[in-house]
Chain A
Amino acid sequence: MAEIMQSESGKRRGKKRRSVRAAGRVDMTPMVDLAALLLTFFMLTTVFTKFKVMEVSFPAEKGQPTPWPKGTMTVLIDAPEEKIYYYFGKFEDVSRLKHVSLSNTGLRKLLFERNNQVNDQVKALQGEFKNGRLSEDALKDQIDALYADHTKAFPVVIKTGDKARYETVVDVIDELNITNVKQYAITDMSKAETEMLHREELTAQK
């Protein structure tokens, strides 16, 4: 394999011996093999997709619980499947829970529609920023103020039961991020809520 070509010495009988002229041709196959091997190795061990993270704040349980404003939406998760229920406002005023699916047309649509007003205003502000009528800082401040206004941007409370899967909770938080809901909290379900949810599930099965 690794031949270095030489002209045959036999032909040169009788003539003066010249220095052997070596053609500059080395067999590169082993080197190529090695290079290909290394290439494969590095390709397979390289991690291109770095993990992404989602920032979440959990509420402190010390001190007085903050009263949630009227328009609060509460999402209840207590099933190994992706089954979520919700209600608006205070639990005491609610007699039935509503079921919603974790899809584009389910929870996401609901959240988008609820935040229509704020989203439109944010869009208007961004338009003004593009026209140069608003500074970047002012834009940020005004958007933050909009999201903090509970009469327009409705907060969401995620309440979980013992049977909830981690994935479902992450999915719901992700939906909130997609729909620009900035105010949300994750807490435990109360006993009354759990009971109502199970009643709902029973009626759904019938």
Chain B
Amino acid sequence: MPKIKAPRSSPSLDMTPMVDLFFLLVTFFMLTATFRNEEPVMVDTPKSTSDKILPDNTMLITIDTAGRVFYTIDGQEVRYKLISDLGTQYKVPFTEQQKITFSKMTSVGLPVAELPAYIDMKADKRKAIDNASKGIPMDTALTEKNQLAFWINLGRRHHAAIQENKVNEDPNYKKADLRFAIKADGATAYKKVKDVVAIFKMQDIYRFNLVTSQEAK
């Protein structure tokens, strides 16, 4: 009796459609990806039903559960000018390189005097400093010690100046107003948020965007 031969087929199967699909997905994700911003502290924002998304051109104040305050502002040019001015204000000399590095960083939560050393560090070491920092120094009055007030004031002024320049260069340019956002942990004492709001109020800023994560109604 002749043996029954199983039809011998090649074990390699055609992977082309799968590869096609994979690359399609990879392309999709690459193009849609906006990378998660490096955040200095973990903040678990409260939920809300609001559906407005965080606008561009924002000055963002992050407050963690311990009440530490971190500062972020959109725009490299703004950040460059901001750090130069803060250096003059607090008599902390920043080198050109440090200013450029700072303009590419996102958020900070340190007294101005500690910034030069912080900027010179490598990114992974900065993390440790962030964890140990006490945040940007604040005060209840508008004094030298109230560094957050200077951060806010200078950031706002430079943002406005840069927008003004752009309008002068190109009359069709639409001026973008600076928005103020507060991102606080849900478990933060409201008092801490109130302290930050009070500093904004001193500079006649009353409108805020409270950052929340979305919740179903």
Interfacial residues, chain A to chain B (CB-CB below 8 A): 25, 27-29, 31-32, 35-36, 38-39, 42-43, 45-47, 49-61, 77, 160, 162-171, 173-174, 177-178, 188
Contact = CB atoms under 8 A, between A and B. Distances in A.
B206 A60 contact: yes
A52 B189 CA distance: 21
B4 interface: no
Across the A-B interface, give the 7 residue pairs with the lowest CB-CB distance, nearest first. Answer: A42-B29, A167-B186, A53-B209, A35-B22, A164-B190, A167-B46, A170-B46
Contacts of B208: 55-58
23 contacts: A28-B19, A39-B22, A39-B26, A39-B29, A45-B35, A45-B36, A46-B32, A51-B213, A52-B53, A52-B212, A52-B213, A53-B52, A53-B54, A58-B201, A160-B190, A160-B194, A164-B190, A165-B189, A166-B46, A166-B185, A166-B188, A166-B192, A167-B187
Contact of A171 (B46, B51, B187): B46
B25 A39 contact: yes
Nearest to A35: B22
Contacts, number: 147
By CB atoms of chain B within 10 A, which of A39, A45, A77, A168 has the most? Answer: A39
B181 A53 contact: yes
Contacts of A29: 15
B53 A60 contact: no
Grouping DSSP codes into helix (H, G, I), strand (E, B) and loop, the B interface class, with mixed when no group exceeds half, is mixed
A51 B54 contact: yes
Interface string B201-217: 10010111111111001
Interface of B: 12, 15-16, 18-19, 22-23, 25-26, 29-30, 32-36, 45-55, 181, 183-194, 197, 201, 204, 206-214, 217
